[in-house]
């Protein structure tokens, strides 16, 4: 009997160490990624010039070597407190991707042309550094995105409720944390993407009809507040492979 219990205990210890090793290996394999998103205002008469200059640079040899996936989106829906017309985002695979951030214009003709175009037509309203907590990079190909800026006072409660909500619905919702540069009170971003606005509205109807929204709101009661939201149409994306 003693030998049987001893063998059982040894098997449990081996199983625990095996699970610990697998968990540790999985965490090490998944590096934490980061993003920097810029809210900008582009002059009406300079929008095509800006897009063309960005296109030329990102499709150049230097642009394709940048350690970021880059997206340019146009503001489709917003409140009256924000004059931004576009959002330019840089998504890096890890912290090292941002090692040379802010080092100046890329050393190429296309890079200098882009910075000259930006200087002439673009005003920067806000630059936010953040990190995805729950995120599938393949979602970046969707053309319509809504972002809710959240003030989360209880991150553990909110994250657990978010996971349950996401798993019980489409599984494509995103949760991001704000690190530097966010507007007052903003700690996190809840993101929903779809192929277009019509598909987004249809998906929204389905989620509400399922009762998942009501359960989610009940679960996060007192742990988070929505400060504002904004909708975007994707214009361009680069280095997505």
Give the pLDDT confidence of 78-89 residue by residue, as tens digits: 986 778 999 999
Same domain, 103 and 14: no
Q: For residue 146, what are its two tokens?
A: 């809504």
What is the reported pLDDT for 17?
32
Full residue range of the structural domain in which residue 22 is found: 1-30
CA distance 199 to 56: 31
Same domain, 126 and 25: no
DSSP state of 167: H
Same domain, 186 and 228: yes
What is the reported pLDDT for 224?
96
Q: Give the CATH number for residue 117.
A: 3.30.70.100
Longest CA span, the chain: 85
Mean pLDDT for all residues in the chain: 87
What is the reported pLDDT for 80?
66
Strand partners, 236: 72
DSSP codes, 70-87: EEEEEEEE--TT----EE
Same domain, 14 and 64: no
Same domain, 17 and 63: no
By three-state DSSP, how is residue 170 classified?
coil
Q: Is it the case that residue 9 has pLDDT exceeding 70?
A: no
Contacts (Cβ under 8 Å, ≥6 apart) of 185: 151, 227
Same domain, 88 and 10: no
Q: Is it the case that residue 112 has pLDDT exceeding 50?
A: yes
Count of beta carbons in the 10 Å neighbourhood of residue 17: 10
Count of beta carbons in the 10 Å neighbourhood of residue 121: 19
What is the reported pLDDT for 20?
31
CA distance 228 to 146: 11
Look at residues 107, 68, 104, 113 and name the one whose alpha carbon lies nearest to residue 89: 68
Number of domains in the chain: 2
Q: For residue 185, what are its two tokens?
A: 């009170």
Q: Is it the case that residue 237 has pLDDT exceeding 50?
A: yes
Give the residue-averaged pLDDT of 111-140: 95
Give the residue-averaged pLDDT of 7-25: 32
Same domain, 94 and 46: yes
Lowest mean pLDDT among 78-87, 122-131, 148-157, 224-233: 78-87
Give the residue-averaged pLDDT of 66-81: 91
Q: Is the dihedral angle over the CA atoms 189, 190, 193, 199 positive or is it negative? A: negative
Percent share of the chain, pLDDT over 70: 86
Give the residue-averaged pLDDT of 183-209: 96
Q: For residue 220, what are its two tokens?
A: 């996060």
CA distance 205 to 216: 15
When pLDDT is cut at 50, 70 and 90, the band that residue 125 belongs to is very high
Q: Is it the case that residue 115 has pLDDT exceeding 50?
A: yes
Same domain, 170 and 134: yes
Look at residues 135, 181, 143 and name the one whose alpha carbon lies nearest to residue 162: 135
Same domain, 76 and 20: no
What is the reported pLDDT for 14?
30
Same domain, 26 and 126: no
Give the residue-averaged pLDDT of 195-209: 96
């Amino acid at each position: 009997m003693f030998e049987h219990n001893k063998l059982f205990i040894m098997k449990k210890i081996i199983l625990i160490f095996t699970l610990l090793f697998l968990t540790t290996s999985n965490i090490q394999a998944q590096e934490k990624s980061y993003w920097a998103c810029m809210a900008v205002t582009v002059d009406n008469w300079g929008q095509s010039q800006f897009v063309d200059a960005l296109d030329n640079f990102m499709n150049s040899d230097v642009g394709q070597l940048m350690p970021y996936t880059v997206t340019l989106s146009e503001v489709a829906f917003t409140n009256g407190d924000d004059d931004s017309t576009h959002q330019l985002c840089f998504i890096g695979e890890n912290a090292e991707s941002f090692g040379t951030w802010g080092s100046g214009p890329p050393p190429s003709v296309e890079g200098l042309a882009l910075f000259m175009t930006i200087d002439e037509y673009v005003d920067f309203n806000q630059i936010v550094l953040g990190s995805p907590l729950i995120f599938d990079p393949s979602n970046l190909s969707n053309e319509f995105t809504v972002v809710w800026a959240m003030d989360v006072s209880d991150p553990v409660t909110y994250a657990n409720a978010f996971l349950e909500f996401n798993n019980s619905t489409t599984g494509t919702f995103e949760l991001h944390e704000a690190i530097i540069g966010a507007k007052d009170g903003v700690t996190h971003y809840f993101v929903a993407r779809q192929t277009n606005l019509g598909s987004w509205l249809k998906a929204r109807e389905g989620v509400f009809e399922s009762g998942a929204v009501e359960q989610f709101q009940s679960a996060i009661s007192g742990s988070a507040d929505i400060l504002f939201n904004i909708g975007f149409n994707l214009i361009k994306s680069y280095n997505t492979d």
